[in-house]
Structure 1
Amino acid sequence: MTGRPLIGISTYLEAGTRWGVWELEAALLPAGYPRLVQAAGGLAAMLPPDDPERAAAAVARIDALVIAGGPDVEPVRYGAERDARTGPPARARDAWELALIDAALAARVPLLGVCRGMQLLNVALGGTLVQHLDGHAEVVGVFGRHSVKPVPGTLYAGVAPEETVVPTYHHQAVDRLGVGLVVSAYAVDGTVEAVELPSRGWVLGVQWHPEMGEDLRVVEALVRAAGCSSDAGGAGLPRQ
């Protein structure tokens, strides 16, 4: 492969965003995401919410996909009633990102889900979520830190074989696993902290926020997988 793999990253779509003299709707992405991809050897491309029917075309033009963190997944997506502590829905983003996940899995494009992204991966495969979990977002708007322990023999354990302290901020978690997913890391309290999908190549979800830390290993592994995938078929061509 010549050049750096192109890594698509999903984004927020927020109304009333201010910068300079402007207050407008904006497609937003915390700068930690593109900086992490760039530091890991990739090129970052933002994928704001769009018509879900265009997801396959978007995925065909990238070498790997990151589903970024963000708001709670709407409970109707996994057949649950809304808990009072669940945040307001982001329906356009849910629909777009679920379509991106489906397209990436179908095309075997390497996929990383971060926090909400991991939860959405689980929901896309028929899993459910715990709508409120104490102890993983101690202070509103402040990232915490706790350790995660890899499950030996998993993709994640191959990337980070030792127990690792990670940046974290979430109040929801995986409950019933989606079809084909396996757990690849746990928190000390037993919360599922990483999942993967061995049947579809390089597919990993992490409950923490690697973009808020200095450990590049997960995203470096994604970029390597993107490079190998591009070498095998070229960006936009079917993966075998």
Structure 2
Amino acid sequence: MASSGSDRTPVIGVTTYLEHSAFGIWEAEAAVLHRVYVDSVRAAGGNAVLLPPLGDWRAENVEWLDGLVLSGGADIDPARYGQEPHPTTGTPQPDRDDAEFALAAAALELDVPLLAVCRGMQVLNIALGGTLHQHTPEVVGTTDHQPQVATFGKTQLTTTPGSVIAGILGETAPVLCHHHQSVDRLGRGLTATATAADGTTEAVELAGRSFVVGVQSHPEQNSADGRLFGALVDAAAAHARRHRRRRTR
């Protein structure tokens, strides 16, 4: 968990998306996010700040972030990795794609600790030149990763010894997932550090950075296991301390 004492609470940006929403007496397009992301960040000792999918998210505008979560959600436009849409691929959300690719680039440029969740791991992979399987059931022969609408599948992942994810979750761990796309070709510098029994890439890491971890599962859905968010907030606290030292020199 994040350091106590005089250190301030780490600020963790979490990406949101635009959806037609109903609240109170109103129905309108809103920037929304499942509350469990906020709860997960808070339980780990951070303060969550919601980042809308509209804005100028270049590095100079996000230096105040101590950490970043790229949240799960809709399919990424396959044009971003040079493919035509598969019949099962969802309608593109260009505002969200633009914002999250910009935020991923900014986090990598600034070495802001990054946890990329489900779609977020796919954004990270594509941002570094990788590609996706647009419909994983055609690759692995099962719908276990997305058993049905609004239902999370259960997957047992196996981690790579010595990896960051192994240090957090151990040799194996049960996880919750809901995705029909997955990593195909890895992006530049990324290493696959966890897999499911069917060979699906379940985690990726980027060496040479303070903390860049992508997971294909949804750790925010398991309130009993806050280890991944705890590791992110710890890395964010260390990043904030380094940033303060640089500013006082």
TM-score category of the 2 structures, normalised to the smaller one: over 0.9
Counterpart in the other structure of 1:30: 34
- C-alpha distance in structure 1 between counterparts of 2:192 and 2:86, whole Å: 25
Counterpart in the other structure of 2:3: none
Shift of 1:3: 2.3
Shift of 1:216: 0.6
Query: Contact 2:132/2:182 (CA < 8 Å) preserved in 1?
Result: yes
Counterpart in the other structure of 2:8: 3
Counterpart in the other structure of 1:69: 72
AA at the equivalent of 2:244: G
1:216 pairs with 2:226: yes
After TM superposition, where is structure 1 displaced by more than 4 Å over at least 4 residues in a row? none
Aligned ranges 1:79-98 → 2 under 5 Å: 79-98=82-101
Deviations 1:58-107 (A, max 9, x none): 42111000000010010000000100100110111001100000000000
Q: Structure 2: which 5+ residue stretches go unaligned?
A: 1-5, 138-142
Task: Report the TM-score when normalising by structure 2.
Answer: 0.91
- C-alpha distance in structure 2 between counterparts of 1:55 and 1:18, whole Å: 31
Q: Sequence identity of aligned pairs in percent?
A: 48
- C-alpha distance in structure 2 between counterparts of 1:234 and 1:95, whole Å: 30
Query: Contact 2:57/2:106 (CA < 8 Å) preserved in 1?
Result: no
Aligned ranges 1:31-180 → 2 under 5 Å: 31-51=35-55, 53-134=56-137, 135=143, 136-180=145-189
Task: Report the TM-score when normalising by structure 1.
Answer: 0.95
Query: Contact 2:161/2:171 (CA < 8 Å) preserved in 1?
Result: no
- C-alpha distance in structure 2 between counterparts of 1:55 and 1:90, whole Å: 19
Query: Contact 1:193/1:207 (CA < 8 Å) preserved in 2?
Result: yes
Q: 1:58 to 1:70 in 2, by over 3 A?
A: farther
- C-alpha distance in structure 1 between counterparts of 2:111 and 2:146, whole Å: 33
Query: Contact 2:71/2:118 (CA < 8 Å) preserved in 1?
Result: yes
Aligned ranges 1:166-205 → 2 under 5 Å: 166-205=175-214
CA RMSD of aligned residues (A): 1.4
Q: Structure 1: which 5+ residue stretches go unaligned?
A: none
AA at the equivalent of 1:226: A
Query: Contact 1:185/1:192 (CA < 8 Å) preserved in 2?
Result: yes
- Match of 1:199, SS? coil
Deviations 1:170-212 (A, max 9, x none): 0000000000000110001000000010122210000000110
Query: Contact 1:148/1:193 (CA < 8 Å) preserved in 2?
Result: yes
- C-alpha distance in structure 1 between counterparts of 2:118 and 2:151, whole Å: 15
- C-alpha distance in structure 1 between counterparts of 2:118 and 2:58, whole Å: 21
- C-alpha distance in structure 1 between counterparts of 2:211 and 2:110, whole Å: 11
Counterpart in the other structure of 1:226: 236
How many equivalent residue pairs? 235
